[in-house]
Amino acid sequence: MCSKGKFTENVIIENYVAVVTGANIGIGFEVAKEFNLRKAKVYMICRSEKNADAAIVQLENLGCDSSRLHFIQCDFTSFKSVKNAANELLGLENHIDILVNNAAVLMPKFELTEDGFEKTWQTNYLGPFLFTEILLPAINKSENGGRIVNVSSIAHDRVDILDFDQINNENQFGEWKTYGESKVANILHARQLTRRLHESKSSVTINSLHPGIVNTDLLRNTVFAKPGVIAISRFLANIFLKSPLDGAQTVLYLALSEKVEGVSGKYFIDCKLAKESKLALNDQISEDLYNYSMEKVSKFL
């Protein structure tokens, strides 16, 4: 169960294969740690081998078994990198039990990726969408039901309209607006993929969540990370924001709890069902977004 936002079930996941994106820091680091301590083999999907190696040393010092921690390089701003990482993983494992789509950025200015998409949108949504699609056959082979967890945000609630054909329009860009659009897309993705999984009689589940306002490096590209501001922002963050471990609790709940076995397409906060925005509940938008996404990533599938 989850007590006051804490996941407290003693779940052991020996012989599980778990995949965590953005696993070298913040929420992803804490999730990778907990999965490993609960006996799973964990694949840490990170941009930097140097940072991943440093994280593995930290995790080993915290009691983790480094023989069950594996790094795979992936940059979600590149569909080619996403495909290569997913295929590398599929070459190593014939099944995946848990996928946590956690990696995210908040970009302070408009920037296009090598694939021609706004960077926040591709990193937070389109890249993870592609990653999930490629890995889905392996997740379907899980003997434990297969669970996908999308780390979204309460920032999605600020978005009233999702015109994904305008995502790459610089005139429509806004730092938090675009971030919120990517996060409502994470929820819509979970809803629409749930429908498709049910139609195919799959036992895989996918849910989304808001982890809380967490003290992570998400703001590393913003004004809060500038030299004259960073000391103050860190001081305030330590007082008012959740720790990464606290932020990881609902991820762990959705990935491991018996209480959500068979539950799919839902949105959670503090290990409890929560109310999405009206837009996030729009089935037509979720279908349109899925079709748009498949079209944009099709040549990498």
CA-based end-to-end distance of the chain: 38
Q: What's the chain's length in residues? A: 301
Rg value, the chain, Cα: 18
In the 8-state DSSP scheme, what is residue 225?
Answer: G
How far is CA 98 from its chain centroid?
12
- HSE-up (13 A, CA, CB side) for residue 167: 27
Please confirm, yes or no, whether 179 is among the known catalytic residues.
Answer: yes
Going from the C-alpha of 87 to that of each of 17, 93, 239, 275, 289, the distances in angstroms are 15, 10, 42, 36, 25
The SS3 assignment for 49 reads helix
The SS3 assignment for 165 reads helix
From CA 272, how far away is CA 283, in angstroms rounded? 22
In the 8-state DSSP scheme, what is residue 270?
Answer: T
- Catalytic entry in 16, 43, 179, 253: 179
Kindly give the pairing relationship between strand 17-21 and strand 41-46: parallel
From CA 219, how far away is CA 213, in angstroms rounded? 12
Residues 75 and 131: beta-carbon distance below 8 Å: no
Tokens coding 77: 């701003």
Q: Which residues are catalytic?
A: 179
